[in-house]
A and B are shown apart, each in its own frame.
Chain A
Amino acid sequence: MSTSNTTVFIIDDDADFRESVQWLLESTRYAIESYASAQEFLDTYDQRPGCLLLDVRMPEINGLALQQIMQERDIRLPVIILTGHGDVPMAVNAMKNGALDFLEKPFDDDVLLKLVDKAMREAEQRFDAQSQELELREYYDTLSRREREVMELVVAGNSNREIAETLGISPKTVEVHRSRVMSKMRAENLAQLVQMNNRLGL
């Protein structure tokens, strides 16, 4: 039934509830995968795009703990937190941890589907950005040590002369390194290089 290659991942320790969400979402265009625990999900997740429906109350690794692990592992799935009645403090913490939104159980299917759609759009952006970053990272990885030094000084706004002085090499050589950096990073101008540098978070 799914017509999309994006997946809704559900993590909830309550099997019955999990299956019911699956039953509900299977009627939509998304692929559904469900997991009984955060660990189970972490063990199998392979960076596929999608979004995550996450129960905040779970044994061992709870929703909040999983959010932290995801940050550490750079898993950027947008998270929709599922809370029980009266779990407001937990929901607040989840939002602080970067959750996209939260839903109180029991929830309206329309609200859920709207949130899932929103999450999927968010996911698309995040995954695009992530693949771009991965690309940049690959380019960056091809730079030599000296080229990285030159790049750092260039984006910091130094002139070739200044860079030559700092590194103790001739301005001519700086010019060679600089043009190599531009072509390896596929940057058309200095402004683009600065942007790339920011995205790489160097």
Chain B
Amino acid sequence: MQPIEQELKRCLQEADRYRLLAEQSTDMISRHAPTSDWTFIDVNPAIERVLGYTPEEIIGTPGYDLFHPDDADNLKKRAESVRYRRGMYTNVYRFRHRDGHYIWLETTSRTIRDEAGKPQEIICVSRDVTERELAQQATRRLARVVEASSDMILFCNHRTLQLTYMNESAYRTFGAERENLAVFYLDQLFPKDVLHNLVEPALQHAALYGTWYGSIPLYPPGNPGRTAEVREVIAHRNRAENMQVEYYSIIARDITLKRQAEEKAKRQQLEMAHMSRLLSVGEMATELAHEVNQPLATIINYCNGTFRRLDDGQITELEQVTRAMELISGQARRASDIIKRMRRFVRNTEFQRIRFPINETCQEVTRFLNQEAIDHDIRFEFDLDEQNPELEADRLQIEQVLLNLIRNAIEAYSDSDIRPRPVTISTRIEGKRLFVTVADQGPGVNTEQMKSLFEPFSTSKENGLGMGLSISHTIIESHCGRLWAESDGHSGTRFHFQLPLKGTE
């Protein structure tokens, strides 16, 4: 008997040790009936810390009722949160605390079966993983934000410059399928010079200071027509390893639509500008007709004069006729020059940035307005920069602005008896910018009119559409310049515009 008693005592001691182990465990250890209501059969005291119940309170009650409704059937549904390994299920789910709130439990359970394989009971070891679960949830949400972001987000290995992750937007812009796992390296995305001159310095800057902001153009090689730009590079450092860079996040944006919208706006502006030129010429039709008429009348006089002399036998020398012919062809050229000037002005062209001498352009535009000036008794005066500045811009559009401003200056005198009537055009370089001023000494523009001066369809003229200044304003702004007016309301108006001499600066 002794050995049996000893054996029994050893068994009891061992049972005590296990009970102690179970009682002292911070994990909740529970036994449940293998029925659908999952009744608590036994539980260790840890339950009080985890769920708020004392073992006495909970034993005999159905555990099923405490599941979060959404998680109750996880096991049946084989939800993602259930893992099965070597006869043990691990499930993460929400369970109701005695206070009414839910906590996250991670439970590993095993079904105890009799020899016939019939379930006897279920033993569960559960722990509160609320904190971990919430943290993971936050991480999952962050990852989802990154994935769903409309910005392109790329993770890049700091040594190999391989892209280890790309979000949906990036895949879309690159025109790549997520399924065929193309390996991307930075040098596949950028041409060599861009990589060396822009991308690498940006990475170095980020490695030094943490973040780089800027703009690097990105034309996805596999997806022509798309335009993106890299705007931000973040260097992620490892705290454990001497703050070494671990990887880079590269944030870029697909600007194809924005570019297209800009292109469209630019096209519309060009069309508006063209329309406005047509309107200007329409408004000047009488003057232009008169101007063309003049050389034509001259030609007819030379012809008739010559016929008359031939009839009367007054022509004795061939030279007399050739002289007349020369004069006639000179006048024909004069007429055709006027037509050419007009056609050049109304033609519909793309935006073209070229270098041209602005002083010459100012004078050219006044020639265009020659007849209008004569009719209104206007004297053009020039105060042009002696350095003869060259401007890089769309010449036609700048001519259009000058034409609008000078015509305005001419018309400023129309309701007054002011004499003389100078219109002064001046050009001046200041630093890297060109300043142009068109000034009249008419009755000026009052404060009220000044407010709506650049708005479309605001006009003080009888037969003007009021588009001139509005279009001019748009043109100058699209050249990165500024157009403004100055008037004290009684002694003249000055229109100024300033532009960068070089278009790209």
In the assembled complex, which residues on chain B have CB atoms less than 8 Å from the CB atom of A108?
A: 304
**How many angstroms from the CA of A4 to the CA of B306 in the assembled complex?**
21
Let me know if B343 is at the binding interface, CB within 8 A. Answer: no
**How many angstroms from the CA of A60 to the CA of B377 in the assembled complex?**
6
Let me know if A16 is at the binding interface, CB within 8 A. Answer: yes
Let me know if A58 is at the binding interface, CB within 8 A. Answer: yes
Let me know if B415 is at the binding interface, CB within 8 A. Answer: no
A7-55 with Cβ < 8 A to chain B: 13-14, 16-17, 19-21, 23-27
Q: Report whether B298 and A20 are in contact in the complex, using a CB–CB cutoff of 8 Å.
A: yes
In the assembled complex, which residues on chain B have CB atoms less than 8 Å from the CB atom of A19?
A: 327
Q: Report whether A27 and B290 are in contact in the complex, using a CB–CB cutoff of 8 Å.
A: no
Let me know if B136 is at the binding interface, CB within 8 A. Answer: no
Q: Report whether B289 and A24 are in contact in the complex, using a CB–CB cutoff of 8 Å.
A: no
Let me know if B382 is at the binding interface, CB within 8 A. Answer: no
Given contacts A23-B324, A27-B305, A106-B301, contact A86 B289 (CB under 8 A): yes
Given contacts A24-B304, A27-B309, contact A17 B289 (CB under 8 A): no
Nearest-CB residue, chain A, relative to B295: A16
In the assembled complex, which residues on chain A have CB atoms less than 8 Å from the CB atom of B296?
A: 106
Given contacts A23-B324, A24-B305, contact A16 B290 (CB under 8 A): no
**How many angstroms from the CA of A102 to the CA of B225 in the assembled complex?**
66
Where chain A touches its partner, the secondary structure class is loop
Let me know if A180 is at the binding interface, CB within 8 A. Answer: no
Q: Report whether A24 and B327 are in contact in the complex, using a CB–CB cutoff of 8 Å.
A: no
Q: How large is the interface on A (under 10, 10 to 19, 20 to 34, 35 or more residues)?
A: 20 to 34
B265-293 with Cβ < 8 A to chain A: 286, 289-290, 293
Given contacts A16-B298, A16-B331, A19-B327, contact A86 B304 (CB under 8 A): no
**How many angstroms from the CA of A85 to the CA of B297 in the assembled complex?**
11
Q: Which of A1, A27, A60, A107 has the most CB of B within 10 A?
A: A27
Which residue in B297, B305, B324, B331 is a CB contact (below 8 Å) of A105?
B297
Let me know if B374 is at the binding interface, CB within 8 A. Answer: yes
Q: Report whether B301 and A17 are in contact in the complex, using a CB–CB cutoff of 8 Å.
A: yes
Let me know if B350 is at the binding interface, CB within 8 A. Answer: no
**How many angstroms from the CA of A157 to the CA of B304 in the assembled complex?**
59
Q: Which of B286, B297, B305, B373 has the most CB of A within 10 A?
A: B297
Let me know if A109 is at the binding interface, CB within 8 A. Answer: yes
**How many angstroms from the CA of A58 to the CA of B374 in the assembled complex?**
6
B423-462 with Cβ < 8 A to chain A: none
A-B contacts, 28 listed (Cβ < 8 Å): A1-B314, A14-B294, A16-B327, A17-B297, A17-B298, A20-B297, A20-B327, A21-B301, A23-B305, A24-B305, A26-B305, A27-B305, A57-B290, A57-B371, A58-B374, A59-B377, A84-B290, A84-B293, A85-B290, A85-B293, A86-B286, A86-B289, A105-B293, A105-B294, A106-B296, A106-B301, A107-B297, A108-B304
Q: List 8 additional A-B contacts (Cβ < 8 Å) besides A16-B330, A19-B327, A24-B302.
A: A17-B297, A17-B301, A20-B299, A20-B327, A59-B373, A84-B290, A84-B294, A86-B289
